[in-house]
Structure 1
Amino acid sequence: MAQERIIILAVIASSLISVACAVPGIATFSTPTLPSACYAFQDPGTLFAAVNPDLYNNGTACGRRYRIRCTGPANQNVPRPCRNGEVIVTIIDLCIACQPDQFDLSAEAFSRIADPNAARIRIEYNE
C-alpha cells in the first residue's frame, strides 16, 4: 500500500513539473517544403514543426520532440480556437521568419490542437 502511494505521488509530481516548465509561445501552420533543414528529402511524417532561429540553434533542435498545447487565440477571427489535448511534434526545419518561441506546425499537428481557421494561436510548449 505504501509503495502504491509513493508511485502515485511520483506520477503527480512529474505531471506538475511538466506543467510548471511549459513556455508560452505562438503557433502557426504551413504545408511542408522539402528539403527540410534537418532531414533533406526524408518524409517527415505528419506531426512535425519548424522552429524559430533561437530554438533551432544551428540545427541542435533537429529531432527534438516538443509537447504543444493550445491556450487561446492570437487573433480575432476565431475567438475560441483551441481543441482539447496536446500534440507532440518532431523538429525538422528552421523557420527563419518565426519570432522567438514560435512554432510553425504541420497542418495535421495544428488541426489536432486548434481550429485551422484560426491560423495563429497561443500555445504552451515543453520538451
Structure 2
Amino acid sequence: MEKATLIFIGIVACLVSIASAKSGIATFYTEYVPSACFGYKPEGDMVAAAGDELWDDGEVCGKTFTVKCTGAQNDVPHPCTGKSVKVKIADQCPGCPSTMDLSQEAFAHIADPVAGIINIDYEEHE
C-alpha cells in the first residue's frame, strides 16, 4: 500500500507541474547590458528579455523561470536538447515575436541556436 501511495503522489505532482507550465515562443539575443531591469549591472549569462505578452509594465523584472524547448517554429528538424534552463528576466523585448528572448547561452542549453526560434513551455518560480 505504501508503494502505491508514493507512486500516486508522484503522478499527481507531475501532472500539477505540467498543468502549471505555459506555452510560448523563444528567440535569442547577445547583448545583455544595458537592460530595462538592471541598467548596466550584469546579471550573468542565464537571462532573458520579456516579450510584450510577459512584460506586464516591468512587474516581471528579476523573476525567474524554468524554460524548456518543445519543438521547432521553422524547418529545423529536432532543435530541442531535452534539457531545461532557469533564466532571470533582466530586460524587455518590445515588439518581439517571442514570449521570451533568451540569452544565447540559455537558448543553446535547450535548443540548437541554428533554429533561431522555438516553441517553449515556461514556468515561473515563486
TM-score surpassing 0.5? yes
| Counterpart residue identity of residue 91, structure 1 | I
**Counterparts of 2:65 and 2:10, CA distance in 1:** 20
Poorly superposed stretches of 4+, deviation over 2 Å:
4-15
Q: Which residue of 1 aligns with 2:65?
A: 66
Say whether 1:102 aligns with 2:108. no
- Give a deviation string over 1:91-127, Cα, whole Å, max 9, x none: 011100224x611000110000000111111111111
C-alpha RMSD of matched pairs (Å): 1.9
**Counterparts of 1:53 and 1:9, CA distance in 2:** 39
Tell me, yes or no, if the aligned pair for 2:52 and 2:99 is still in contact at 8 Å: no
Once the 2 structures are TM-superposed, how far is the Cα of residue 15 of structure 1 from its aligned partner? 2.7
> What is the total number of aligned residue pairs between the two structures?
124
1:107-118 equivalences in 2 (<5 Å): 107-118=104-115
Q: TM-score, normalised by structure 1?
A: 0.86
| Counterpart residue identity of residue 34, structure 2 | P
Once the 2 structures are TM-superposed, how far is the Cα of residue 87 of structure 1 from its aligned partner? 0.7
Residues 42 and 11 of structure 1: is their aligned pair in 2 closer, same or farther, counting only changes over 3 Å?
farther
Extract unaligned runs of 5+ from structure 2: none
Q: Percent same amino acid at aligned positions?
A: 43
Say whether 1:124 aligns with 2:121. yes
Extract unaligned runs of 5+ from structure 1: none
